[in-house]
Amino acid sequence: MVTELGMSDKLGPVRYVGPAGLGYLGSQAAALSLSPETERMIDEEIRAILDQAEKDAMAILSDNEAALHEIARVLQDKEVISGEMVARILAEQPAKS
């Protein structure tokens, strides 16, 4: 997202990928001549995206803890669960939000 598609508020709509599609940490990273500061900013943006995604995932799990426990119970009992069953459990268990 950050290096290939320019999806970063901090770095702007800039593509940090070489002509063969390899960039930043790929084999052509040296050919791109990125400054240490730019590499640090890319690392920070990637870390921020991953940290936010982790927080969002944990909030979803926390908000749906009752459903998560019910799904785990079904899996312990039957060892498999269908998407339909997961949807039904989610519909029956109120989220915390």
Burial profile 16-43: b = 16 or more Cβ within 10 angstroms, e = fewer: bbbeeeebbeeeebeebebeeeeeebbe
62: its two tokens: 């926390």
CB of 95 within 8 A of CB of 65? no
42 or 14: which carries more pLDDT confidence? Answer: 42
pLDDT score of 18? 59
Q: How far apart are CA 75 and CA 82, in angstroms?
A: 10
Model confidence, pTM? 0.67
Q: For 36-90, how does the pLDDT look when each residue is reduced to its tens digit (9 = 90+)?
A: 898 899 999 999 999 999 999 999 999 999 999 999 999 999 999 999 999 999 9
CB of 49 within 8 A of CB of 34? no
